[in-house]
Structure 1
């Protein structure tokens, strides 16, 4: 499938939401996306997609 910027952003929002639930980070607690990815040992979706192509 085609990877447009919009699609990648939507996928990243979904992944971030799932990671926050897994790591038990709720709404009033805010952390940056970078810190979220570090805690979960994940790469941003865009980097992961580029790596796999």
Structure 2
């Protein structure tokens, strides 16, 4: 039986590219703009580094 708390076997779908990645290799992104719907998703590390991390620099 798969342990639901095992970060190596639980997966998430990347909200940017659609790849399925292990939970431990994903990045949780939460953006809460004042006048729009909250963006609460997981993205793979490569999409985070290429698309989202530069926005925070």
The verdict on a shared fold, with TM-score over 0.5 as the criterion, is: no
Which structure is higher in helix share?
1
Structure whose alpha-carbon radius of gyration is higher: 2
Q: Which structure carries more strand by proportion?
A: 2
Give me the TM-score of the superposition, normalised by structure 2: 0.25
Q: Which has the higher contact order (CA 8 A, sep 6+)?
A: 1
The two structures have a TM-score, normalised by structure 1, of 0.26
